[in-house]
Amino acid sequence: MKDYSSTALRSVAVIGHGSVGKTSLCDAILYAATAVDRLGSIADGTSVFDFTQESRDRKQSLSASIGICEWKDFKINIIDTPGFADFYGETISSIAVSDGALLVLDGGAGVEVGSLQTWGFASRASLPVLIWAGRLDKENSDYSRVLIKAREALNRKVMPVTVPLRSASGGFGGVYDLIADKAVDAKGAPATVGAADRERIEAWKRELVEAVAETDEALMESFFANDTLSPEEMDRGLKAAVAGRQIFPLLAGTSTPPCGQEFLLDSFIRLLPSPVDRRPEAEADGGSGSVVPPDPAGPFVARVFKTTIDKHVGDMVFFRILRGGIEGTVDVQNSTRSATERLGSYFFVSGSRRVDASRLVTGDIAAAAKLKVSSTNDSLCDRQKQLVLKPISFPEPVYRAAISPKKRGEEDKMGAGLSKLTSQDPTIIFRNEAEIGQTTVSGMGEQHLATMLARLKDIFGVEAELSKPRIAYHETISKTASGQYKHKKQTGGRGQYGHVFMRVEPRPRGQGFEFSSEVVGGTVPTKFIAAVEKGVLESLDNGPISGSRVVDLKAVVYDGSSHPVDSSDMAFKLAARKCFKMLMLQAGPQLLEPVMTLEITVPEEFMGDVIGDINSRRGRIQGMEAEGGFQIIKAMAPQAELYQYTSSLRSLTQARGSFTASFSHYEPVPREIQERIMSETTQEEEEE
């Protein structure tokens, strides 16, 4: 592969809902650009992009993959991203290193939940977006309907740039490029525009010209003077409007058989900004708020956006150069981890194929093997000009499960493997949760964690299993209670004596625990007050209802008695523990459960079923917002009721719903549930 300057590079993230044909389109793009001599097929297992055994077995993209093609003296990196919500982390990181995005819509289904979600990711990254209406040869497809829906749900400035032609029978007959004034038939051969298409094409051309003119005052003046724009004005104006997210071009075609990909490749070059024209990357740099201009001659800066683990090669780190470049072997600084890395063997990746690179420039996407510490979201830079890039923001995991090895004694091995996998994928989080006595792992869904388990076994040789995690309940009290407890024991020698009078009082939610002493006259000697406090503190870890942590109360020791010989720290600590537990049961004990905030995006036709399901989970609807043909339901629900909710939502919405979840607060558990949990806890203690 020849060397390319930064201005001749383009990187495009192909995004969208699951199963709309993204990977097939990516394979068709490489085929149209003659990067491959055979059209890749998901069904046959020959796709350039779904090259891992996991993806081939599932016939589904589980991670982002890159394909490289050369087109008219440009090099284009096509980044195929997963459409399944469980793997959106890969989509977000791919968007972060791209010059533009291509949102793929099904010509029949139009805008779906995943379309909205991934469109939102691109919007938050301020990325220019082209839109592809595919599968236009299918019976239920309708380009005009896709256009209307895209304008309603995405942006009213979605504008046709390549449009479908009608065949003699009225079906899909090919594609016409409004700007280049060229047409191809359904097989991709040059074609002419028939009379049946001419009128609507002229209307779309006029609409596009007017839309471009509206984006710039000088172009508007030229349009009023000439009733049109020159080809040069159109090229300049449309490219600026796309880069500024003022216009979102809509393109048309099919992937099997390929049709319209040549026009799409032209649009990547013609409409998307080059790496040096791309908006600057944000820079943390000690919170200064400065930016990193994409200067090919500046000091080297790169972002690590993806890490893979290969059993044969080891760790492979993918990065995009944001400024400067490198040639040959060079030492760079991982400023995120304050470590030096040697970049010596780096290469371009296209599917499973690797091509050695001798130099890299601003805008290049490359990979390197066997770096010491670098992983996803790290910053690499010139050792003399160090900075730390603002990290890519990943969504919070929504699915949590307990994890344990199938074989006893492999806990450490499992932990080491999980640490490695979580550094590779920031949307997986694992924790050793002392409060519930379990190791938990959180991800974006059941399939996400199932894939993680498969990789844990394949790469690290550890078989693990998932189970329902315990809930981190808290316990508190609802009223004040007072009482005493005397710990007295005589065993022949020195005895044990500790006697305390104590009061417990509720505190406002979130105020935590407080201890104080109101003892006067030395009835409890000052030297034993600390032991009383320690006894209470130890009791906080094991409340009387469920054995959960006790919160938001005040304990006051106000009287007691002691023995000159038998009293000790241990005796007063034991007395305090017994007294505190007794008072907890007298003070209106309450079990508190974690409550989550939910935002659920669903098509309108499923809204009733989803609301009913939330209500059945003791949830509360907080409000709803319309977005295109979708509803965003805002709700709150107990964490205990949300295990495997990802599967339930997909079942209720035919896999067209998605949600985000975050912790909100703790609130009391209903009385009947509290009594059931208390009974279960008592039974477990008796069995032990």
pLDDT value at residue 529: 96
Q: What does the pLDDT look like over 37-94, one tens digit per residue?
A: 999 998 888 999 988 878 887 778 889 999 999 999 999 999 999 988 889 999 999 9
Query: How confident is the model at residue 282, as a pLDDT?
Result: 65
pLDDT tens, residue by residue, 419-462: 989 988 999 999 999 888 999 999 998 999 999 999 999 889 99
Q: What is the mean pLDDT of residues 246-261?
A: 96
The structure tokens listed for 437 are 């006595």
149-153, 224-228, 309-313: segment of lowest average pLDDT: 309-313
Report the mean per-residue pLDDT for the chain. Answer: 92
- Taking each helix axis as running N to C, give the angle between helix 22-32 and helix 261-271, from 0 to 180 degrees, rounded to the nearest 10: 90
Closest by alpha carbon to 64, among 427, 400, 389, 450? 427
> Does position 168 have pLDDT exceeding 90, yes or no?
no
- Structural domains of the chain sorted by starting position, each given as residue range(s) with its CATH number in brackets: 6-191+245-271 (3.40.50.300), 281-381 (2.40.30.10), 399-467 (3.30.70.870), 475-587 (3.30.230.10), 592-672 (3.30.70.240)
Q: How many alpha carbons lie under 13 Å from residue 490 in its C-beta half-sphere?
A: 3
> Pseudo-torsion of CA 352, 356, 359, 364, nearest 10°?
-10
Quick: pLDDT tens for 581-613.
999 999 999 999 999 999 999 988 899 999 999
Average confidence (pLDDT) over 150-174 = 93
pLDDT at 286 over 60: no
**Quick check: 285 pLDDT over 70?**
no
Q: What pLDDT score does 309 carry?
A: 82
The reported pLDDT for the residue numbered 377 is 93
Q: How large a percentage of the chain has pLDDT more than 70? A: 98
The per-residue pLDDT for 345 is: 86
Find, among 159, 185, 423, 195, the residue nearest to 304 by Cα: 423
Q: For 378-428, write each residue's pLDDT tens digit.
A: 999 999 988 899 899 998 888 999 999 999 999 999 999 999 899 889 999
Q: Is the separation of the CB atoms in 522 and 485 below 8 Å?
A: no
Query: Which residues contact residue 386 at a Cβ distance below 8 angstroms, ignoring those fewer than 6 apart?
Result: 333, 335
Residue range 270-285: mean pLDDT, rounded: 82
Pairwise CA distance, residues 444 & 114, whole Å: 14
Of 363, 301, 362, nearest to 336 by C-alpha is 301
pLDDT at 465: 96
- Looking at 20-34, 141-155, 231-245, 487-501, which range is the least confident one? 487-501
